[in-house]
Structure 1
Amino acid sequence: MKIYFANGLFSQADAEFNARVVAKLRAMYPLVEVYLPQENASINDKNAYADSLMIAKADTDKVLASDLLIAVLDGPTIDNGVASEIGVAYQAHIPILGLYTDSRRLGATNQQKLDALQEVAENQFHYLNLYTTGLIKLNGKILTSVDDLLAAVREYDDEARL
């Protein structure tokens, strides 16, 4: 099985998070091949040069060659590249697992937080684009922890069950 791991990769925090989660995937599922774009120096070494066509072709080819897309949804908004990769995977009928760990999703039963929704600029919850999340839900699911994500991979391939 081949997995494409989609997340922002330009900050140290994102790069380290990506590497840590992918290391766990590789350790847990040694027969699964995980593509992590930040490891592709031909398009992501920012000291070198890669134009938009090179980046689009390289990443799209890898998405289309995958059996599963993992998409990290955290951040102020879903990363633009990740949203594009979700669209490509959806159109190609590739299952998608979204990872959404933002703590602002919590408190849906807290009446004060619900009441605050009636006041301008007092939304206590984080917003994710509904079109993008809908594409994921039509062809996969959204999980709220790395542990749940790691366990969910097992559902998508016999090799991962070993």
Structure 2
Amino acid sequence: MVYYVAHRLFSAHDRALGARVAEHLAAEAGADAVFLPFCDTDEEDLVADVKGLRLYQLDTRRLGGLTGMIALLHGPSLDDGVCMEVGYAAALGVPVTILTTDFQTYDRAGRVPAWQFPDPLIEAVAHTVVRGSTLGPRTAAANRFAAFADRNESQIDAAVCHGVDALLHAPAPVRPAPKEQRGVYIEASPYTPDSGLLAAARSSGRPAHVSRRFTAGDPLGAAVEDWNLAAASCALVADVSGPETPPGAAILIGAAAARRQRVIAYQPRPAYTHAPGREPNWRNLMIQYASDLHATTLSDVTAGLES
């Protein structure tokens, strides 16, 4: 058994929450059955010729043999590395439990919430979503600030317990039967949907399909269709523009990497991140190294599909 805890790495709070989940999970499944990426790849002290690439290799090696995953996703801006890992695991038939303490839900019409995350694809690929969306009961702490902290702590504890329980009771992984792969799947940006990617793909002479879940009347149903169309394509072209790679694009890039499909990441305005001892990354390193080609123009996309 190997359980993977996927969480944002870029603040002490997120790393502490990931460790909290891992510790609770280890108490139930055993420490050797739990993989916590930043901790267990020794990321801060790792030395390698190309450190980001080495981290990607270590993490995807683990992703290829999982029993289950618990992924921490919070707020309207979802971590693209976590979403990539969710897609990788889901494509291999690994049950994924999504854990969130976010109280927001989402829809397009301003009425009844239709889905639980900014992108309905997350629900489409998750086995279970566990929401710890309300504060715990009031306590008799010495002051109101300590009382508020106590209510947050009990909210997190309850969410972690429910999330770990859901993960441990999930079914065993079942690898999906491979589909005949043909054509190109275009994952358009939710920010600039008319990016020209569909026309660029078709100009390569290949049949192409574009994501529909942000325009369809039934976003959740369309998310399942998007997932299936992407699985049946020989190549993925994903617009990764934005402050982070959009969550759906990150999920589909992870899935394509697991299925060994060709991935073209389109980002006309590259933005690099830097970390001590690591090469510059033009996106989250999991996105960067799962992509076969980084295209900055539509001509790059067409040429990449023709090659």
From the superposition, tell whether residues 71 and 88 of structure 1 become closer, same or farther in structure 2 (CA, over 3 Å).
Answer: same
- Alignment correspondent of 1:35: 35
- Alignment correspondent of 1:117: 110
State the TM-score, normalized to the length of structure 2.
0.41
Q: Distance in 2 between matches of 1:47 and 1:38?
A: 10
Q: Distance in 1 between matches of 2:37 and 2:46?
A: 16
Equivalent of 1:141, from 110, 113, 128? 128
Residue 71 of structure 2 aligns to a residue whose secondary structure is strand
Residue 66 of structure 2 aligns to a residue whose secondary structure is coil
- Alignment correspondent of 1:9: 9
Q: Which runs of 5+ in 1 are unaligned?
A: 109-113
Moved more, 47-56 or 27-36: 47-56
- Structure with greater helix share of residues: 1
**With CA pairs under 8 Å and 6+ residues apart, which has the higher RCO, 1 or 2?**
1
- 4+ residue segments displaced more than 3 Å: 46-52
From the superposition, tell whether residues 54 and 87 of structure 1 become closer, same or farther in structure 2 (CA, over 3 Å).
Answer: same
Q: Which runs of 5+ in 2 are unaligned?
A: 132-158, 173-307
Displacement after TM superposition at 1:95 (Å): 1.0
Q: Distance in 2 between matches of 1:74 and 1:150?
A: 17
- 1:24-74 CA deviation, whole Å, 9 max, x = no partner? 1111232761000011344x2178555332222111111112110111111
Larger C-alpha radius of gyration, 1 or 2? Answer: 2
Q: Distance in 2 between matches of 1:54 and 1:102?
A: 33
- Alignment correspondent of 1:52: 52
Pairs aligned (count): 141
Q: Distance in 2 between matches of 1:126 and 1:97?
A: 13
Aligned-residue sequence identity (percent) comes to: 26
Q: Cα RMSD (Å) of the superposition?
A: 3.0
**Is the 8 Å Cα contact of residues 3 and 32 (structure 1) preserved in structure 2?**
no
**Is the 8 Å Cα contact of residues 26 and 33 (structure 2) preserved in structure 1?**
yes
